[in-house]
């Protein structure tokens, strides 16, 4: 099994995962992102009412999905190919801790359909499906 760094090549400022909580290689991952006023995206989104952009919540979920999908493989990186049925239920503010869950529903070749969910304080923030492709560096 690869370490998170191997399955997730992203680095600051675009790594949206702070730590892994659970991992079933090739099947499932649970990760955490602590949203802080120090996060680069809060400076301009929005200065007087900061919140995490929905696009970056999707990116965080896709990164968790990539770890779930690729952690059982020796190499490769995940690319977000498609977002399906994504719903947003709650605004994410500084101080929130996002729990990012990703479960591989099925794989086909170098692609996988992954059901994802972001939660904060026990409430669903976003949920949907991402399609990921494994590529080479």
Alpha-carbon distance of 52 to 88, in angstroms, equals: 12
Catalytic residue among 10, 45, 48, 89: 45
Q: Could you confirm whether 48 is annotated as catalytic?
A: no
Q: Which domains does the chain have, with CATH numbers?
A: 4-135 (3.10.129.10)
Cβ atoms 82, 36 nearer than 8 A? no
Alpha-carbon distance of 60 to 55, in angstroms, equals: 9
Which of 124, 125, 117, 111 lies closest to 82, judged by CA?
111
Cβ atoms 4, 132 nearer than 8 A? no
In this predicted structure, what is the pLDDT of residue 1?
47
Positions of the chain with pLDDT lower than 70, given as ranges: 1-7, 137
């Amino acid at each position: 099994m690869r370490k998170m760094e191997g399955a997730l090549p992203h680095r600051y400022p675009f790594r949206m995962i702070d730590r892994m909580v659970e991992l079933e290689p090739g099947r499932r991952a649970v990760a955490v992102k602590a949203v802080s006023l120090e996060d680069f995206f809060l400076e301009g989104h929005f200065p007087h009412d900061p919140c995490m952009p929905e696009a970056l919540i999707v990116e965080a979920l896709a990164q968790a999905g990539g770890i779930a999908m690729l952690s059982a493989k020796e190499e490769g990186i995940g690319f977000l190919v498609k977002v399906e049925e994504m719903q947003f239920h709650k605004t994410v503010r500084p101080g929130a801790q996002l729990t990012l869950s990703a479960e591989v529903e099925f794989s086909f070749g170098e692609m996988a359909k992954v059901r994802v969910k972001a939660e904060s304080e026990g409430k669903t923030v976003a949920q949907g499906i991402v399609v990921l492709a494994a590529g080479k560096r």
